[in-house]
């Protein structure tokens, strides 16, 4: 490190700033790589896992619809009101 001690203060400061800039660039590159891998992971989660969540929610809505029809049928005061309607209410 004798060569560094012989440098003038301006060149030492320039070397220090160059080192900081290099580290900043490396941190930025690592950060962008992390963001890209996170984007791929989120796409995979959305395309695989969220489809099953969507389908289970759709199934839940259908089950509620059928429960409501059963309760309406059981609580209907007359036989004519037990005839199911052709569309969903």
Q: How far apart are CA 28 and CA 18, in angstroms?
A: 15
Contact 7, 15 (CB under 8 A): yes
Q: pLDDT: is 4 or 43 the higher one?
A: 43
Query: CA geometry: angle at 32 spanning 26 and 38, to 5°?
Result: 135
How is residue 8 written in tokens?
Answer: 């003038």
| 37/82 Cα distance (integer angstroms) | 57
Q: What is the pLDDT of residues 19-78, one digit of tens each?
A: 999 999 999 999 999 998 898 888 888 888 788 888 888 999 999 988 888 888 777 776
pTM for the model: 0.48
């Amino acid at each position: 490190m004798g060569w560094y001690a012989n440098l003038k203060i301006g060149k030492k400061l320039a070397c220090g700033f160059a080192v900081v800039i290099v580290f900043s660039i490396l941190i930025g590159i690592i950060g962008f790589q992390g963001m890209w891998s996170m984007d791929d992971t989120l796409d995979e989660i959305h395309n695989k896992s969220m489809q099953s969540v969507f389908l289970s929610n759709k199934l839940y809505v259908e089950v509620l619809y059928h429960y409501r029809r059963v309760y309406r049928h059981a609580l209907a005061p007359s036989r004519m009101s037990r005839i199911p309607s052709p569309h969903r209410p």
